Chain A
């Protein structure tokens, strides 16, 4: 790190830290969906990345539609795109649970393979429909440019925007899970599916909606993703391994742990990749996570109760 003045280092940390925040947002939105699905049903959804890609392509489609409507539509389309991305991924998730996952409960390995296959099918569908070239979403003017905090620190506005979306969605999910009746049902089912059913909860329905909700969250991650990169058929798939890392590291049953672990992993990758290469940053992050998991196999946070 020699050759940098203290002031420069500070600026680098601030800016890399901020670009790490954008990565954190995508990780977190992906990981929340995955954590809910995995925590609730024990299903490892290898196609989760493709639900994110779906959300990104839907955002692209809405932006193309908006462009034909004129300038005002381009300024205002993004909230609509987020809603469309959520609904699209939610509905696909619902159908996938209904026609595929439901038949594979209690068979984790089969679910893994089946969802992986589903991911491949979806990737090829995207390729056939949208073409192999990456699509770039036309950004509204108010998302372009950056906010200069000091002479040396530039913070991009689109990063601030997806940070706001992420916070809103995370809070909404936490409220839904911990303050609503539906959340009580979900958590009761997660704890003991058989007993929840015998206490009067329609666990099949809870499963279907939970899976769809997790997929919808991935769709929103896709919409957020379009503001920091362009979308190709495999865009989402590239995040799946990192996302699993986040979920396992955070502790599968703890959403708070997921948040902390997404933050830690995204930040260390982003800041380290400035000084080393991107792959070295990844290696270092992975090693750290592996070492910590050796001492805490249950993840960073696990709920404490008597057994």
Chain B
């Protein structure tokens, strides 16, 4: 569904992502693991198009590396940024409908509120006044409103309490099942990642350290890369 070849991203003269190649298949969840500063967020920004990158990003059959972010969204790539970045002064409902722009649909699809009932109760509230966990749900809802084929989630567990992290994993699995979409998620929390991922890539200093899939996910080996 989404395949990259030799992606490189630089800030000024210093290259931080050194030629990554990976892919995610249909209805598959790929977790990209790594400590802070290993390039996860940079990689995600390059995938959605906020940061310029070289190499190729193949989405379906199309090369999208030259496309602007909103054009990538229109084609079916959705982005939930680190730190959520909901539109604080807009109401919850307006936040979700900002995502509808890519689809041309007029009203919020009901399955979004089914997934996140709390957002329905609070739909008239300003998004900036929601709690961190609720804002995270809203950011996911906004991304789902664009009708994505691939959902990019950058550290969705950051700043969220452990009991809610469990719910989040359940919700993401449900989204994948109902909507038949692929998910690419960046994470530091191994337990959360193994709850949702079919495959994991471990990122170290802008390189892929190694890759594991399915049952053979080696918790001990990944943990070594996640702790300092």
Contact = CB atoms under 8 A, between A and B. Distances in A.
Contacts of A194: 50, 69
Which secondary structure dominates chain A's binding surface? helix
B88 interface: yes
Interface stretch (B9-17, B22-30, B91-99): B91-99
Interface stretch (B73-81, B111-119, B167-175, B201-209): B73-81
Given A184-B94, A192-B87, A198-B79, A306 B69 contact: no
Interface residues of B, number: 30
Contact of A188 (B69, B98, B128, B143): B98
B102 A200 contact: yes
Which of the listed residues B74, B98, B102, B142 has the most CB atoms from chain A within 10 Å of its own CB? B98
Contacts of B54: none
B48 interface: yes
12 contacts: A181-B97, A188-B98, A194-B69, A195-B81, A195-B85, A198-B70, A199-B79, A199-B98, A199-B142, A303-B89, A305-B126, A306-B128
A235 interface: no
Interface of A: 181, 184-185, 187-188, 191-192, 194-203, 253, 303, 305-307
B146 interface: yes
A305 B98 contact: no
Contact of A197 (B68, B128, B129): B68
A233 B191 CA distance: 70
Interface of B: 48-50, 68-70, 73-74, 78-79, 81, 85, 87-90, 94-95, 97-99, 101-102, 106, 126, 128-129, 142-143, 146
B142 A198 contact: no
Contacts of B70: 197-203
Contact of B129 (A196, A203, A306): A306
B98 A185 contact: yes
Contacts of B102: 199-200
A305 B101 contact: no
Given A199-B143, A200-B101, A187 B94 contact: yes
A184 to B, nearest CB: 5
Given A199-B142, A200-B102, A201-B98, A305 B88 contact: yes
A178 to B, nearest CB: 9
Nearest to B95: A188
A253 B69 CA distance: 26
Contacts of B90: 184, 187-188, 191
A185 B90 CA distance: 10
